[in-house]
Amino acid sequence: MLAVSDDATSAAGAAPAPDEPTFDDGDAHPGGMDHRRERIRVETERHRIVGCLTLARDGYRSRVSDVLNAPERDFLTLTEVTVEPLSGGPVELHSYLTLARRHIVFAVAAPED
């Protein structure tokens, strides 16, 4: 459902009202849950994929293994992604990519660029 407001200050690009949450590079989210991004390298049978995975800052779902082993999750979403065919070929750059977990052969931490 889409909420529509008659208030001209709520138009796209307008500054948020004082009581509305603001986002700083994806780190703080509504409800006070802090997140962090971890760069990982994932390989499938055909591709090497490097991107950022959003994790909880601490506690539940704060480790890459927590996300990879979550039975309710069939897909991972990565941002700032490079996709390299293992057989050679051009590297693709994507702002985000959703990857089916069942295709992952292995995942490791990737060095920051």
Asked whether the whole model's pTM tops 0.75, one would answer no
Span of 1-5, 17-21, 32-36, 101-105 with lowest mean pLDDT: 1-5
Closest CA to 64 of 26, 101, 31, 89: 101
Kindly state whether residue 23 falls inside one of the protein's structural domains. no
Q: Report the candidate in 35, 27, 91 with the shortest Cα–Cα distance to residue 58.
A: 35
Task: CATH number of the domain at 61, please.
Answer: 2.30.30.100
Has residue 92 been placed in a domain? yes
CB 57 within 8 A of CB 40: no
Q: Is residue 13, in this structure, part of any structural domain at all?
A: no
Q: Is residue 105 part of a domain?
A: yes
Three-state SS at 65: helix
Closest CA to 49 of 96, 7, 2: 96
pLDDT of amino acid 18: 46
Does residue 3 lie in a domain region?
A: no
Q: Is residue 8 part of a domain?
A: no
Domain range for 45 is: 30-109
Does 79 fall in a domain? yes
Based on the number of CB atoms within 10 Å of its own CB, is 83 exposed (0-12), middle (13-18) or buried (19 or more)? buried
d(CA 24, CA 7): 24
Number of domains making up the chain = 1
pLDDT digit string (tens) for 52-108? 998 888 777 778 888 888 888 899 999 999 999 999 999 999 999 999 999 999 999
Please determine, for residue 1, whether its predicted confidence score (pLDDT) is greater than 50: no
In a domain, 17, yes or no: no
